[in-house]
Amino acid sequence: VIDDVAAIAKKAGDAIMEIYTKTPLDEWKAIADFKADGSPLTKADTTANTIICDALTAAYPKIPIMSEENKLLPYAERKGWAYFWCVDPLDGTKEFIKRNGQFTVNIGLVKGTSPLAGVVYVPAAEDGPVMYKGVKGLGPPVREIDDPLGYDSYKSIFCKAFDEKDAGLTLVASASHNTPETDAVFYRYKDAKLQSKGSSLKLLMVAEGAAHIYPRLAPTSEWDTCAAQAIVECAGGEVLQHAGGKDCEPGKPVAYNKPEALNPFFVV
């Protein structure tokens, strides 16, 4: 199943790259519409969403879909879901518009309220497209590189072990949504290094040991984190609720299918 879902994510990513690479530069400032919450929406978002939702519905007709670009169903209709797909067809739309390559395609599978599996595709990574995928109970997640010679390079990934008292830890934070609360967390650590990334790449940095900690003390939605949380947890890490934000239970894993589909603050 995970390889089939990865193929769907790649197809959506290829469609995104068609728009990303072929849109004339002078059109980029006018490319986006804006949703009710003020966040941008591009043709790439809607095109990728259609590809993913159509493919998942065809392959798994009994599993419902929660997607950023679909209307959120009333909680009464979905609270009994045993499984569901949690989809962000283009995470990092602001990064897409900035043309910095830091955007991802995210498809997560939730069992009850916990992520069970995740696929994250990075179509515009610096060294070529990268696919991350993991399923709980099937070993560590995999980072797959589509190299120029046509050979796929597979690598199991793991979170890096550390003590919070260690000096020189690497923290990663949002490129577009940093907050004073996040800065305060950074200054708790001795000689810490801070990197900025867009989209779900921040969770993936922790999953593959490129960063130790990702504090997110700002609003996010379930589709922003679901797929990458599954990968982090498969890699031996945790995505834990942090004081602040909405309906928080500090220290417990971030859970899914909440009434408003909004995450509490969290630390990875």
Question: Residues within the annotated binding site for Mg(2+)?
Answer: 68, 88, 90-91, 224
| Three-class SS state of 15 | helix
Q: Which residues, 6 or more positions from 153, have their beta carbon under 8 angstroms from its beta carbon?
A: 144, 145, 147
Instruction: Summarize the annotated binding site as residue ranges.
Output: 68, 88, 90-91, 224
Inter-residue contact 85 to 63 (CB < 8 Å) = yes
Structure tokens of 11? 């197809």
C-beta neighbour count of 40 within 10 angstroms:
15
**Residue (of 161, 112, 163) closest to 136 by Cα position:** 112
CA 94 to chain centre: 14
Inter-residue contact 215 to 239 (CB < 8 Å) = no
| Three-class SS state of 87 | strand
**Residue (of 96, 113, 138) closest to 12 by Cα position:** 96
